[in-house]
């Protein structure tokens, strides 16, 4: 019910009790989400959202900054992600609900901060889905060219401003994800697991082939630009780790969330880091690092160079096609669950928390989100707007590190299935690294972020603050 007359301070600082968050787990308008995801499925969701376009194209951007020491850069980025992953793991085990960092902030930092965090997640997931989907068409064309020698016309495979009118492949991969999402969480997880296995197999295939071309001389002059080059490449590579938090959006569909969510988050980050480092070791060993300059398809180029054949690059292109489809599926899943949680709290319209009785999914929510992301991917040239994904993610990560500190102090005795070691040192480091990386982003990205935040304030004070269910449940103010 809409509420009025609440003092502004209460709207900014009111917190949703952890017990209430957990008690409402799974409940939506007209039904409940179904608990059907185990540790394996949750881990695959996180890997599916993380292991995507980054590893297939990022080497061409990162190696020129660090040389062979890009191996260390991957480890540096992984450690930076680990700080936030530890905080996510503790909060996911203590507050096993949908909504990820939005819900954690609501319980610890107040409704307004939670809204800002949720609004950042909407930006992160929405723009990243569109950006990744746009790139899908390029890999489809590479695969088609290598197999049957034809490519889709640019007019239907590129966005406006880049030679096209409508990016049909981008729209197609989003609609493909819709089919799985409407079938239910279990069906979506099954499809994602298959795709994750395919892309891991593609990367391992690259490592086997690349190993045949290793030359010890390529590791000479290991760090040509010193520590500054390693850190610069690490900042670039950090964004290849974005997505490990996807499992935390499935808190209300996990069969044993308190046990499995922390394990899934840490296990997925470990697997992804190991794969990244292994691929980097093989790639810089098989090709002189100076030849990576401007190379966007480094892995395919290395396999062609080592084997002298076109078959292996085609198989890697297929792996990239599957990898991107998996990212689209899992990120869209996370987007719908975050908005589901915000809707259940009354901060966005109730249609987004309406659960379909047959599939046990927020069907209307899924349709609206996919429609928005599909149109964005098909007709909007994203350009630098895609960088907004990074700043929104880092802001949410920073808040999670703060939230774990606050919850330790306000609820020290509550049950936690996982605890951040070396508390509070690691959460403080996690917060510091996130802020540092945020300020390394361009001015244009900050302007886009500021505009998005202003729009969020209009929506919150125009709708959310007056429809908040937490405010409706609050006792009347004393006169």
Predicted confidence at residue 5, as pLDDT, reads 42
pLDDT at 6 > cutoff 50: no
Cα–Cα distance between 115 and 117 in angstroms, integer? 5
CB atoms within 10 A of CB 306: 19
pLDDT at 439 > cutoff 70: yes
Instruction: Indicate the pLDDT class of residue 8, thresholds 50, 70 and 90.
Output: very low
443 by Cβ neighbours in 10 Å (0-12 / 13-18 / 19+) ranks as: exposed
Cα–Cα distance between 376 and 171 in angstroms, integer? 9
**Maximum average pLDDT range among 14-18, 39-43, 52-56, 92-96:** 39-43
Q: Calculate mean pLDDT across residues 406-414.
A: 91
Q: Calculate mean pLDDT across residues 407-435.
A: 92
Cα–Cα distance between 127 and 388 in angstroms, integer? 8
Specify the CATH number of the domain 34-470. 1.20.1740.10
Question: For the chain, what is the mean pLDDT?
Answer: 85
Predicted confidence at residue 380, as pLDDT, reads 74
Instruction: Indicate the pLDDT class of residue 366, thresholds 50, 70 and 90.
Output: very high
pLDDT at 476 > cutoff 50: no
Do you know the residue count of the chain? 479
Predicted confidence at residue 478, as pLDDT, reads 36
Give percent of the chain above pLDDT 90. 43
25-39, 80-94, 376-390: which has the minimum mean pLDDT? 376-390
Q: Calculate mean pLDDT across residues 40-44.
A: 94
Q: Indicate the SS3 state at residue 37.
A: strand
Q: Tell me the per-residue pLDDT of 278-308, one tens digit each, with 9 for 90 and over.
A: 999 999 999 999 888 655 567 878 888 888 8
Instruction: Indicate the pLDDT class of residue 30, thresholds 50, 70 and 90.
Output: low
Residue 300 to residues 65, 70, 426: CA-CA distances in angstroms? 20, 18, 38
Q: Tell me the per-residue pLDDT of 227-259, one tens digit each, with 9 for 90 and over.
A: 989 988 887 787 788 888 888 888 888 899 889
Predicted confidence at residue 10, as pLDDT, reads 63
Token digits for 317?
């292109």
pLDDT at 207 > cutoff 90: yes
Phi and psi at 29, nearest 5°, equal: -75, 110
pLDDT at 356 > cutoff 60: yes
Q: Calculate mean pLDDT across residues 441-459.
A: 88
Domain boundaries, the chain: 34-470
13-22, 397-406, 458-467: which has the minimum mean pLDDT? 13-22
Instruction: Indicate the pLDDT class of residue 22, thresholds 50, 70 and 90.
Output: confident
């Amino acid at each position: 019910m809409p509420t009025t007359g609440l003092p502004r301070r209460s709207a900014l600082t009111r917190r949703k009790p952890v017990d209430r968050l957990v008690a409402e787990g799974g409940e939506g308008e007209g039904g409940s989400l179904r608990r059907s995801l185990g540790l394996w499925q949750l881990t695959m969701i996180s890997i599916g959202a993380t292991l995507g376009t980054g590893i297939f194209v990022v080497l061409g951007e990162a190696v020129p900054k660090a040389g062979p020491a890009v191996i260390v850069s991957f480890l540096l980025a992984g450690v930076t992600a680990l700080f936030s992953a530890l905080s996510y793991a503790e909060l996911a085990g203590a507050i096993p609900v949908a909504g990820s960092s939005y819900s954690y902030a609501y319980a610890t930092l107040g409704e307004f901060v939670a809204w800002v965090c949720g609004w950042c997640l909407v930006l992160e997931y929405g723009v990243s889905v569109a950006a990744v989907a746009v790139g899908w068409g390029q890999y489809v064309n590479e695969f088609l060219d290598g197999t049957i020698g034809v490519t889709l016309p640019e007019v239907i495979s590129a966005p406006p401003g880049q030679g096209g009118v409508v990016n049909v492949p981008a729209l197609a991969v989003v609609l493909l994800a819709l089919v799985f999402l409407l079938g239910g969480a279990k069906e979506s997880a099954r499809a994602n697991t298959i795709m994750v296995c395919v892309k891991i197999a593609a990367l391992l295939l690259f490592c086997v082939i690349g190993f045949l071309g290793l030359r010890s001389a390529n590791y000479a002059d290991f760090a040509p630009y010193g520590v500054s080059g390693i850190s610069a490449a690490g900042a670039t590579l950090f964004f290849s780790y974005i997505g490990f938090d996807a499992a935390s959006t499935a808190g209300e569909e996990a069969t044993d969330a308190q046990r499995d969510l922390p394990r899934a988050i840490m296990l997925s980050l470990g697997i992804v880091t190991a794969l990244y480092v292994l691929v980097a070791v093989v790639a810089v060993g098989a090709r002189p690092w100076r030849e990576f300059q401007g190379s966007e398809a480094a892995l395919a180029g290395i396999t062609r160079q080592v084997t002298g054949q076109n078959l292996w690059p085609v198989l890697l292109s297929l792996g990239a096609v599957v990898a991107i489809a998996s990212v689209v599926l899992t990120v869209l899943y996370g987007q719908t669950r975050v908005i589901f949680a915000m809707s259940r709290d009354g901060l966005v319209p109730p249609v987004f928390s309406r659960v379909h009785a047959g599939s046990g999914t927020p069907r209307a929510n899924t349709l609206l989100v996919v429609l928005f992301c599909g149109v964005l991917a098909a007709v909007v040239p994203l350009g630098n707007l895609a960088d907004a994904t990074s700043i929104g993610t880092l802001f949410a990560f920073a808040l999670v590190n703060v939230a774990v500190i606050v919850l330790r102090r306000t609820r020290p005795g509550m049950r936690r299935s996982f605890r951040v070691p070396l508390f509070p040192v690691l959460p403080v480091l996690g917060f510091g690294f996130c802020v540092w990386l945020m300020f390394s982003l361009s001015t244009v990205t900050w302007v886009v972020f500021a505009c998005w935040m202003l729009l969020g304030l209009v929506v919150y004070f125009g709708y959310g603050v007056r429809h908040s269910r937490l405010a409706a449940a609050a006792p009347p103010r004393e006169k």
